[in-house]
């Protein structure tokens, strides 16, 4: 007697990694994908633009207030006769560098304070959160202006000033994630297995708390660029370094006579910050496991 062959069982779908799911979720966000492309173009301009369009951006190359597209100047000249395109290209590198560096300072301080407060609890949490609240209630623009006045208006001091006034939001997010994760079973098991506190913080809890911190860090880059532009508008940055904010600040007196000298760098800031915000929203959707299950 012949035994019939067993019917073919359907293949079990292969489990996808969290990274693949997050990438797929991000790819479905068309606005975020377009924003990534635009940001990549801006970064390429910031990196290679000064080599492709060489020259000192502060050189007075033509008559002041030459309109865009006239006499061979695509974006015109400013009140001193400097090439606006050269200023914009060279300013991209400085503005983006300030944004990234200030975000790094912000995230470093915020993660340190939030992680210690969320992990140790007790008087450590009480002291650190009171410190966080102190910085949070300070008038941010005024505090940054005081730091600039005391330490100088150089780019490192501006970066430090932005970082010092922006870290409380990151600290609160980090603390909330640590308070949630430290009570989970795998953390309890690691603690029972003799894992030291430092390893628990940096190897067990922090990697699992990173998704919302990454989103906040991305948004902080845009906030830092806006912050630098605001300080430049008030004349509190280094006038010898070209940045988008510095271009706006130096031409603000002539906004009614030659509005393009302020509009062009303003549009550059607007597009860059908008793209960073869209990427942040895309990362928030991609890194949120509840949204990935929809």
CA distances from 17 to 122, 138, 203 (A): 37, 43, 20
In this structure, is residue 73 part of a structural domain? yes
In this structure, is residue 195 part of a structural domain? yes
* 158-184 pLDDT, tens digit each: 888 888 888 999 999 999 999 998 888
Of the ranges 77-91, 219-233, 252-266, 280-294, which one carries the lowest mean pLDDT score? 280-294
Domain that holds residue 176: 21-60+67-292
In this structure, is residue 5 part of a structural domain? no
Write the CB contacts of 54 (distance below 8 Å, at least 6 apart in sequence): none
pTM value is 0.85
The CA distance from 179 to 81, in Å, is 57
Give the confidence band of 18 by pLDDT, cuts at 50, 70, 90.
Answer: low
* 120-164 pLDDT, tens digit each: 888 888 999 999 998 888 887 788 888 877 877 788 888 888 888
Q: What is the pLDDT of residue 231?
A: 85
In this structure, is residue 38 part of a structural domain? yes
* 51-60 pLDDT, tens digit each: 988 888 999 9
How many residues does this entry show for the chain?
Answer: 294
For 15, counting Cβ atoms within 10 Å of its Cβ (0-12 exposed, 13-18 middle, 19+ buried), the class is exposed
* 96-114 pLDDT, tens digit each: 999 999 999 999 999 999 9
Q: What is the pLDDT of residue 1?
A: 47
In this structure, is residue 10 part of a structural domain? no
Q: Supply the CATH number for residue 46's domain.
A: 1.10.3720.10
In this structure, is residue 231 part of a structural domain? yes
Give residue 76's region: left, alpha or beta (phi > 0; psi -120 to 50): left
Mean pLDDT of the chain: 85
In this structure, is residue 8 part of a structural domain? no
> Considering the chain, what percentage of its residues have pLDDT values greater than 70?
91
The CA distance from 58 to 210, in Å, is 42
In this structure, is residue 2 part of a structural domain? no
The predicted model gives 243-270 an average pLDDT of 90
Report the number of distinct structural domains present in the chain.
1
């Amino acid at each position: 007697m012949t035994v019939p062959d067993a019917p073919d069982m359907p293949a079990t779908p292969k489990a996808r990694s969290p990274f693949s799911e997050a990438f797929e979720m991000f790819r479905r966000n068309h606005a975020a994908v377009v924003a990534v492309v635009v940001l990549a173009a801006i970064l390429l301009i910031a990196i290679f633009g000064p080599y492709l369009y060489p020259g000192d951006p502060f050189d007075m190359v033509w008559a002041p207030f030459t309109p865009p597209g006239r006499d061979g100047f695509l974006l015109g000249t400013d009140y001193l006769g400097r090439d606006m395109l050269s200023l914009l290209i060279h300013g991209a590198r400085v503005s983006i560098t300030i944004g990234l560096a200030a975000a790094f300072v912000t995230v470093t301080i915020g993660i340190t304070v939030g992680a210690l407060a969320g992990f140790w609890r007790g008087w450590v949490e009480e002291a650190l959160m009171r410190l966080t609240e102190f910085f949070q209630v300070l008038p941010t623009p005024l505090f940054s202006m005081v730091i600039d006045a005391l330490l100088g208006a150089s780019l490192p001091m501006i970066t430090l000033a932005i970082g010092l006034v922006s870290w409380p939001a990151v600290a609160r997010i980090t603390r909330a994630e640590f308070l949630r994760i430290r009570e989970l079973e795998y953390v309890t098991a690691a603690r029972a297995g003799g894992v030291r506190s430092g390893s628990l913080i940096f190897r067990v809890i922090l990697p699992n708390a990173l998704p919302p911190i990454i989103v906040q860090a991305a948004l902080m880059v845009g906030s830092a660029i806006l912050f630098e532009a605001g300080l430049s508008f008030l004349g509190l940055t280094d006038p010898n370094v070209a940045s988008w904010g510095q271009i706006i600040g130096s031409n603000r007196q002539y906004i009614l006579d030659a509005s393009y000298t302020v509009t062009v760098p303003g549009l550059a800031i607007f597009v860059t910050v908008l793209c960073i915000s869209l990427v942040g929203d895309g990362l928030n959707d991609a890194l949120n496991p509840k949204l990935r299950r929809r």
